[in-house]
Structure 1
Amino acid sequence: MVLQMPRPFKHPKTGVYYFRVRVPADLIGVLGKTEVKVSLGTKDPALAKELFSDKERKVAQEWKTLRSQPEPLTQKQIVALSGKVYRKIIERFDDDPGSPSLWQNIIDLAMRVAKAGNWEQWYGESVDQLLLSEGFKTDAESRDKLIRSAHDALLQAGEQQLKKAQGDYSPDPRANRFPPIQKRQTSAKGISLIDLFDLWERDHLAGNGSPRTPGDFRQKIESFRDYLGHEEVGRITPLNVSEYCDFLRHEKGLSAKTVNGKYLAAIRIVFRVGLAKSRIAVDPTANVKVAVPRAIKERPKGFTDDEAKTILTCAMRDPSTLGGMATLNKLACRWVPWICAYTGARAGEITQLRREDFTEQFGIPFIKITPEAGSVKTGVYRMVPLHPHLIELGLLKVIRERPAGPIFYLPNNRSRKAGHTQAASVRGKVSDWVRETANVKDPRVQPNHAWRHRFKTVARDVDISVHYMAAIQGHEDGTSNFEYGEFGMKALYREILKLPKYDVRV
């Protein structure tokens, strides 16, 4: 496995380097943004790399703090934290405090704020940033106490600066009342499983990895931690890992494929990152294996001709037959199966399409499947020409009638779990529709993904080469040839035209 290391982003126009990383999916709702982007203030690549590393450590610690459980602050911690407020004011204006009237006005304003009880408006955001920067996540009561303590510290600093502004630089006799901040330790006995996860997550997101993956990996790591009853990496042995895999197989009833490809894979990846970064000396997962028996294949993974015809016929029926389903979900059930049938795309790639992703080149209508619209497994955009039958059925007319933005849902900012996007929700609705309304219930075939398998089968029947199949479906063909040149629209359309028309009538 090749680990893509995070690095500064150089602005293409200004040449200034930036710290730029994706926000983990489980923290997007907390932070209210999907990306952290901060100028490093330099065009020097060596300095940018150093500044990037410093910022990276701070951001990783902040994310870890946001995920931690709130803990009450002691009186000593509250006073220590407010001391940072005091020192910041003193140090910033030490050489040139300004006029006495400035500091008198600040003191008077702070007193009025306290009298009016406007604590949150005046201090809330600053105190939250202070807690985050120092690695604390606390409860509401402790936060309120810290706000008032910060107010006292501001008044004390203001009075000292007022003296300086009047020419009196004698030391503040109460300056030493603030004890040093006792930072929280992540693990008194060494690096923890979550520490390794954080290292992996930081690199994963900095390398533009899917924001959904950390949520999935975290669940696997926490499951392992709960099984062990601790998270001290130094105590974990190969036997622990092997017994955990057996526990999942025989006690939890998970398949060998799931244990090996999901749980063990996640644990192994974070340990390998720890090993690569010299945080650990031994990888306890190195020689652990889960034997995956050869799958018994009783039918094709793709839809049969009859199943495909059943689904596509059902999709063309009067939408009123779907009852109380939301209008855009009905639209998805109408068009997503048809688009998947002629493109072999992942259903989620189709449910996240926007009106602007439908365009044309050389007079050829096509869809642009791009990470800008949402999750794309490979992280690489591709252009897929639309089969003439889709045009004949009226797809482009429907698209033109939709407003800019997503075709199959109305965007909102509701907080969601990692991976639970609106596009994923629509994909699930289509999946349910295939089972319940189209009545394709065979559990051995996936209700959406089977279109990708069927596309391959049909493409082979009409002699579309493996290279073009890969380009159309967003696969890599495993050869270095795939990295050279592009697949032009005319060539892709030529191959799409080879696909036979689905003869479906309602």
Structure 2
Amino acid sequence: MAGSVRHIIERDGRFRARLIVPVRLRPIIGKRELSEALGGDRRAAERRAHAVIAKFQNELARAERQLELQGGVIPKRRFSEDEIAHAHYGEELAIDDAVRNIPGKRPNLSFTRPAYVAALKRVAAGSTSTEEAEAVIGWAVTKFSERESREIITDTPEWQKTARMLALVQLELIARETERDQGNFNGTPDLPILKKEPAQPAPDPVRLKTLFDGYFRELRAQNRGAEAERRWRPVFEDLRDFLKHDDALRITKQRLQDWKDDLIARYAAKTIRDSYFGAVKAIFAWAADTGRIPSNPTVGLKIKVPKPILAREKGYNDEEAIAVLKAATNYKPKVSDNPATTEQPALTAAKRWTPWLCAYTGARISEMTQLRKEDVKVKDGIHYLRITSDAGSVKTGQYRDVPIHPHLIEQGFLEFVKGSAAGPLFYRPSPRTTSARPWRTVSGRMSDWVRSLKLIDPRVSPNHGWRDRFKTIAIEVGMNPRSADAIQGHAARTAGENYGDVTLKARKVAIDKIPDYAAGMA
């Protein structure tokens, strides 16, 4: 056990929160334990564990409430009529065979059999009272009622139908026993329901939650998928709410089209395609590929997205970039005597440095707001940033090294890093922090701050606009496309581009091609 916090385990230097699911709740939750990675730092793991365990306990509480609504009983499968007939016939023959294998134990029932046969025939014909039917065959009806998700209530049409069918099966059993008493073990039934093979039982449900958790369990093992899991969970909740059930095996292409129609009334086509369809297509394709479901119902699920009409460039133009970078350079927080309204130094540092970092790296803002002191490195005289999911999250899950532009060094970025405490540069971890991803909170505040400056066109994304601008500048200065993609974390565009490495030295050559923004600020 790691530290003094309950429900934390340590394996190979990595920490996980784990809570065992009570046996009675496992059919509802779909797993034996709830588990989530907490990282490799003990103190950070212990801080995060409280929120994670609280989430697990809420999930168990919801399962408890669901169990209460079901009367404390986990639903069992309902059997078809032919399944009941075949099961009873097979089980009773097996019992007869077992008794015959015990010397001296087989009773002589010849003197009672005629009366029993006559009673069974009356039950099968429906010409007897409920009391006699219950006395003659009620034990068999009760046997299957206890196995099912329903109670077959006496003196109802359902009970009568089941009793009549089982009486006919029992007559067949008596015929087989009589044949066996005469040494004939090759008898076959004449009852039509026993002559045909029983219909295959409906497969057990495959829960959407089970697929969702399984998909991301694989990604977490590769240190990937944390951000997608957060974004996709509401998508699957929306699908489940629309369907009014949680069984992936019951989902058809038509029902997904119906869901699409419902989404169109609520969201833009691009949101549906990228967020909603992207999530369900990925997980259902994985489920089909791994044999968890027989086929993928999302094949062919599409939505037409109108091509956006661009009235300007997607990224910052020269004037906007210079204006925002000037604001970052000159930023001073408001002075307040009230500690509650005083801006934290880490956020002030984010406003000072992250716009510049994004401008010279083309990185995502969250990749910069999650930077730690230890992510600023030097090798062979090249100062660089290591962008890694160890610090927070990276969309691709792959780390990458990005050389630091000389102008950032000239401005004193390395001195700022040297004077900072170990750990995150742009937020301070705290036991009171409620956000599981504080670097995202900072990136959101950066977006709000840049918007508040009113220096950029409303159509430009305050954070993502730097990525578009970096690519534009890369084209203008003739940067090697592979180097530009490696710096920004974009995948290779062709199989040939996977050969050879874009070294730190090559990336340094590319970064140095970016013009110094200081020239435009003079």
TM-score range, shorter chain: 0.5 to 0.7
Cα distance in 2, alignment partners of residues 69 and 282 from structure 1: 29
Equivalent in the alignment of 1:426: 442
Query: Is the CA contact (8 Å cut-off) linking 1:260 and 1:290 kept in structure 2?
Result: yes
| Aligned residue runs from structure 1 range 416-455, under 5 A | 416=434, 420-437=436-453, 439-455=454-470
Distance 1:235 1:32, change over 3 A: closer
Q: Secondary structure at the match of 2:235?
A: helix
Shift of 1:336: 0.3
Secondary structure class of the residue paired with 1:447? coil
Structure 1 counterpart SS, 2:378:
strand
Structure 2 counterpart of 1:259: 272
Deviations 1:48-102 (A, max 9, x none): xxxxxxxxxxxxxx9996585333988x989xxxxxxxxxxxxxxxxxxxxxxxx
Moved more, 330-339 or 408-417: 408-417
1:72–1:384 CA distance, 2 compared to 1 (3 A): closer
Q: Tell me how far 1:280 sits from its aligned partner.
A: 2.1
Contact 1:21 1:208 (8 Å CA) reproduced: no
| Aligned residue in 2 for 1:70 | 64
In the alignment, does 2:215 pair up with 1:207? Answer: no
- Aligned-partner Cα distance in 2 for 1:401–1:463: 36
Once residues 417 and 385 of structure 2 are traced to their aligned partners in structure 1, the CA distance between those partners, rounded to angstroms, is 11
Partner residue, 2:330: 317
- 8 A contact 1:248–1:259 mirrored in 2: yes
Native 8 Å contact 2:378 2:384 kept in 1: yes
Query: Hey, what does 2:316 align to over in structure 1?
Result: 303
Instruction: Name the CA shift for 1:481/1:67 in 2 (closer, same or farther; >3 Å).
Output: farther
Cα deviation per residue 1:400-450 (whole Å; 9 max; x = unaligned)?
110111111111345756xx511111111111111103x235332110111
Contact kept in structure 2, 1:440 and 1:447, CA below 8 Å: no
Whole-Å Cα distance in 2 between the matches of residues 22 and 397 of structure 1? Answer: 36
CA distance change for structure 1 residues 267 and 23 in 2, over 3 Å: closer, same or farther?
Answer: farther
The equivalent position to 2:38 in structure 1, one of 1, 10, 34, is 34
Give the unaligned 5+ runs of structure 2: 1-10, 19-33, 41-55, 74-201, 337-341
2:64 match: secondary structure = coil
How far 1:364 moved relative to its partner?
Answer: 2.1
- Equivalent in 341, 356, 370 of residue 359 of structure 2: 341
Matched position secondary structure for 1:260: helix
* Structure 1 residue identity aligned to 2:251: I
Q: Does 1:396 align with 2:396?
A: no
Distance 1:315 1:65 in 2: 43
SS in 2 for 1:359: strand
**Distance verdict in 2 for CA 1:378–1:21, change over 3 Å:** farther
Which of 206, 209, 217 aligns to 1:194? It is 209
Tell me the distance in 1 between the aligned counterparts of 2:352 and 2:465: 17
> Matched residues in 2 for 1:400 and 1:281: separation?
56
Q: Give 1:237 deviation, angstroms.
A: 1.9
Q: Percent of counterpart pairs with the same letter?
A: 37
Instruction: Answer yes or no: is 1:376 the counterpart of 2:394.
Output: yes
**Contact (CA 8 Å) 2:376, 2:386: kept in 1 or not?**
yes
For 2:13 and 2:72, how far apart are their aligned partners in 1?
31
Q: Which of 382, 389, 404 does residue 364 from structure 1 map onto? A: 382
Larger Rg: 2
Alignment of 1:208-227 (within 5 A): 208-227=223-242
> Within 2, Cα distance between the matches of 1:326 and 1:18?
36
Distance 1:257 1:424 in 2: 23
The one-letter amino acid paired with 2:368 is I
Among 245, 254, 265, the residue aligned to 1:239: 254
C-alpha distance in 1 between matches for 2:389 and 2:377? 16
Change (3 A) 1:357 1:19: closer
SS in 2 for 1:212: helix
For 2:488, give the aligned amino acid. Answer: Q
- Per-residue CA deviation, residues 243-301 of structure 1 (Å, 9 max, x unaligned), is 11111112x1x111111111122122222222223232232221221111212111111
1:50 maps to what in 2? none
In structure 2, the partner of 1:500 is 515
Deviations 1:309-338 (A, max 9, x none): 110011111413587432211110110001
The amino acid across from 1:34 in the alignment is L
1:109-160 CA-to-partner distances (Å, cap 9, x unmatched) read xxxxxxxxxxxxxxxxxxxxxxxxxxxxxxxxxxxxxxxxxxxxxxxxxxxx
Please give the alpha-carbon distance, in whole angstroms, between the structure 2 residues aligned to 1:264 and 1:489.
Answer: 37
Structure 2 Cα separation of the partners of residues 248 and 203 of structure 1: 29
**Alpha-carbon distance change, 464 to 33 in structure 1, aligned in 2, over 3 angstroms:** closer
- What is the one-letter code of the residue matched to 1:433? W
1:295 & 1:429 partners in 2: Cα distance? 27
SS of the aligned residue for 2:63 comes to: coil
Given candidates 195, 207, 230, the residue that maps to 2:245 is: 230
Pairs aligned (count): 347
Whether the 8 Å contact between 1:344 and 1:452 is mirrored in structure 2 is: yes
* TM-score, normalising length: structure 2: 0.60
CA distance in 2 between partners of 1:422 and 1:214 (Å) = 17
Counterpart amino acid of residue 426 in structure 1: V
Q: Which has the higher contact order (CA 8 A, sep 6+)?
A: 1
Given residue 434 of structure 1, which amino acid in structure 2 is its aligned partner?
V
Distance 2:484 2:371 in 1: 21
Q: For residues 275 and 424 of structure 1, what CA distance do their matches in structure 2 show?
A: 33
Which structure 1 segments of 5+ residues have no match? 1-16, 25-29, 37-61, 79-186
Pair 1:341–1:228, CA change in 2 (3 A): same
Cα distance in 1 between the residues matched to 2:39 and 2:385: 26
Is 1:327 aligned to residue 345 of structure 2?
yes
Instruction: Report the aligned-residue RMSD.
Output: 3.3
Alpha carbons of structure 1 residues 432 and 274: separation in structure 2 relative to 1, 3 Å: same
Paired amino acid for 2:422: A
**Are residues 424 and 316 of structure 1, via their aligned partners in 2, closer, same or farther at CA, if it must alter by over 3 Å?**
same
The reply to whether residue 483 of structure 1 matches residue 487 of structure 2 is no
Decide whether aligned partners of structure 1 residues 218 and 19 sit closer, same or farther in structure 2, where only a CA change above 3 A counts.
farther
- In structure 2, give the amino acid aligned to 1:499: I
SS at match of 2:261: helix
